[in-house]
Structures are given as C-alpha cells and as structure tokens.
C-alpha cells in the first residue's frame, strides 16, 4: 500500500524535474542540404537524329546518356539547356541551322535523370511559335519542368520555384535572342530576352520567395574560351542584386568558373558549361561538364549558403556500332581509366590523347572544386 505523499516530497520532486529540464539542451535543428546538377547545351544534329532511327520509323536515343545516367541522377534536381524544337515530323526532322527533333528526345532526357529543361535560347523558334508551344507541351508530357518560355502572362509572372525538401529553389532563364525569328506581337510574354532592367526586376520579385536563386543565361560569343567584359560586369551586377548562381550557355565551349564574394557570402558563376552532346568538330566543342552545386540551409537562422561546387569533365563521343555512327556522353576520367584497363569496346588507345587534352583544358577553365565549412 502506498502511503500519503507529503508536500515536502512534492516540492523536492518538482525541483528535481526543473533541474533536469534545465540540464537538457534543446535539440539543434539539423541543416538541410540540396545538390543542384547542371549540364550545358544539348544539341541534335542530323547525324544524331539518324543514329536513333529504328526500322519501324520510331526513334531511340537511350544510348546518348546511359554512361552518365548515375551522375545525372546524383543530385536533387538536374537541369540542361535544350537547343531544338520538337514540332512534330510533318516538316521533317533536321539539325543545323533549323533544329527539329523527334519527340523521343524528351523521354530520353527524362529517363536520363533530367528534371528541368531551359527553353529560352536562340533555337526554340526554329519551327515558329506553334512549334515552340508544341515543344513545351512535349517536354511537360514527358514529366519535365521548363523555364524561359511561357504560354501566358500569368505563367511568366508567377516565376518557377521548386521546393526540394524544404529548400525553395527559384530559376530564371533568359536569352540574347531568337536568331532573328520574331516573337509574335500578341504573345510578348512568351520569351525571356536578356534585358538587364527586366532581369533585375525579376530577381527583386523572386528573391524573397526562395532560399536559392539560379539565373540561367544564354549569352556570350560562340567558340570563345573567355567571357566578354560586359558579361563579367552583368554577372557581378546580378549577383550583387540577389542571384546565387549564374549558369551560362551558347558559346558551345567551356568558359571559366568563378566564386564571387558578395557581402561575405560566396556565389557562383559559370560563364559557359559547353556542349554536353552534339556533333560539332574540335576538342573544345565536344567538351562538357556535369556540375554539382550544393547549398546548406540553416533552419534556425533561415540562412542558405553555398557549401560545395564540384564537377565531372565530359566528352561527346562519336563511335561506330554495327557499321552505324552513334553518339554518347562519357565521363572523361572514367573513359581514360577504361581505355587503360581495356574495358570499353568503343574507346581505342588512340582516343587517350584527346581525352587527356579535354581533361586538362576543362580543369584549366573551371579550376579547383570549391568547398566551404559551414
């Protein structure tokens, strides 16, 4: 039988509980990390289209990215710039200068690990406005997000934001032009032209809504290994006004990567990520990169900071299989290792010098990976 409890006992118990509660520190909030993956231009030349044509008239391009699929799926969200229309086969499938690709390219991109496709570039109107609208529909039907072109003013002004497990990432995308093809006067909202004042306005409106703001710019001089002075000035301006990352495309070669410190906060600009896949000539034009950008969000402080930037040099490799020319993207370092070990039937010892040149040039352009202890 339990006896009566005295007031003194109750008081002592209360004091002990109070001491215990004071001794237990509140559990710290675990920081959240998110890794964004990005690649450069995805081109579809005639030879690439032919490489995927099947006997029944359909197309299969799964060989394009099979070697790098694990790398594309490594992060939380993967993006690329796709430079072609998918306007249907009625007008014919063509490469340069007016690109029009089979719909199967969209499912290939999705199955490879891509999540977001940038459509604001100089080839989106290669089959006119109706072709561009169809391209957007095909990409979305494949399960891909798109940014840079819009079907209404409301859609354009909403801004694209992706919530990645509590880390809100916003993407804005712009291009210098459309190869002279006019945007319809009735749909001025359709295409994001690279206009400094408009970009600054968009950054200002999007910034309060996101933890990370990524700016994708289709700009620069084709085949130049360096950005222009104007590009450097614009990059600095956009970073100072709220962008966290600037990803460049259009030159078709890799240009430098820089870490820029703004108000004691590190930010990233890659002036051009080069070609990811295509059939252009020359080592530089077949060099690309898979970029990994990691941010860490301190949920207590509400602060999100750049934590790490790393990259995998890639090469757009053309080879023959069953007397037919094929294309694929390979990791340069992985390809070098496989040549040395004799483990890839499509790579020859004569490819070694080219791959080593790609590796050296890419590392020269992008520099050492970035890592910050947070």
Confidence of residue 23 (pLDDT cuts 50, 70, 90): very low
DSSP 165-198: TTEEEEEEEEES--TTPPPPTT-TTSB-B--HHH
In a domain, residue 20? The reply is no
Write out pLDDT tens, residues 35-78: 999 999 999 999 999 999 999 999 999 999 999 999 999 999 99
Please name the helix (run of DSSP H) or strand (run of DSSP E) that holds residue 69, with its range, or none: helix 69-72
In a domain, residue 332? The reply is yes
In a domain, residue 18? The reply is no
In a domain, residue 11? The reply is no
The total of structural domains in the chain comes to 1
Candidates 265, 289, 268, 286; CA nearest to 277 is 286
In a domain, residue 83? The reply is yes
In a domain, residue 2? The reply is no
Which CATH number goes with the domain that contains 201? 3.60.21.10
Tell me whether strands 116-118 and 77-82 are parallel, antiparallel or unpaired.
parallel
- Name residues whose C-beta falls within 8 Å of residue 86's C-beta, 6 or more positions apart in sequence: 100, 101, 102, 103, 105, 106, 131, 134, 135, 138, 139
Q: What's the domain range around 309? A: 32-371
In a domain, residue 178? The reply is yes
Confidence of residue 28 (pLDDT cuts 50, 70, 90): low
In a domain, residue 21? The reply is no
Write out pLDDT tens, residues 171-217: 999 999 999 999 999 999 999 999 999 999 999 999 999 999 999 99
Give me the residue label for tokens 């940038």.
118
Q: What pLDDT does 16 receive?
A: 55
Mean pLDDT of the chain: 94
């Amino acid at each position: 039988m339990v006896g009566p409890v005295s007031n003194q006992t109750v008081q002592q118990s209360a004091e002990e509980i109070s001491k215990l509660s004071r001794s237990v520190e509140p559990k710290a909030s675990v920081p959240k990390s998110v890794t964004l993956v990005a690649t450069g231009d995805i081109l579809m030349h005639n030879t690439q289209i032919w490489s995927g044509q099947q006997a029944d008239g359909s197309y299969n391009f799964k060989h394009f990215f099979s070697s790098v699929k694990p790398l594309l799926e490594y992060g939380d969200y993967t993006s690329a710039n796709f430079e072609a229309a998918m306007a249907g086969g009625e007008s014919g499938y063509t490469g340069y200068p007016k690109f029009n690709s089979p719909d199967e390219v969209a499912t290939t991109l999705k199955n490879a690990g891509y999540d977001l496709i940038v459509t604001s570039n100089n080839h989106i109107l290669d089959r006119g406005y109706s072709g561009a609208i169809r391209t957007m529909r095909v990409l979305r039907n494949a399960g891909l997000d798109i940014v840079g072109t819009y079907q209404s003013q409301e859609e354009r002004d909403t801004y694209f934001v992706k919530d990645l497990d509590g880390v809100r990432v916003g993407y804005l995308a712009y291009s210098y032009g459309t190869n002279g093809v006019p945007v319809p006067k009735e749909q001025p909202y359709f295409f994001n032209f690279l206009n400094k004042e408009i970009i600054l306005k968009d950054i200002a409106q999007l910034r309060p809504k996101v933890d990370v703001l990524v700016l994708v710019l289709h700009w620069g001089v084709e085949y130049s290994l360096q950005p222009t002075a104007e590009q450097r000035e614009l990059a600095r301006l956009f970073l100072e006004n709220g962008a966290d990352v600037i990803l460049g495309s259009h030159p078709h070669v890799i240009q430098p990567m820089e870490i820029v410190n703004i108000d004691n906060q590190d930010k990233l600009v890659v002036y051009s990520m080069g070609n990811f896949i295509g059939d252009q000539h020359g080592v530089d034009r077949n060099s690309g990169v898979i970029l990994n950008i990691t941010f860490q969000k301190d949920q207590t402080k509400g602060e999100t900071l750049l934590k790490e930037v790393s990259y995998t040099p890639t090469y757009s490799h053309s080879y023959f299989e069953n007397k037919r020319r094929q294309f694929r993207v390979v990791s340069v370092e992985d390809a070098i290792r496989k040549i040395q070990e004799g483990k890839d039937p499509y790579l020859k010892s004569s490819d070694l010098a080219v791959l080593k040149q790609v590796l050296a040039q890419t590392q020269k352009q992008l520099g050492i990976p970035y890592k910050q202890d947070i």
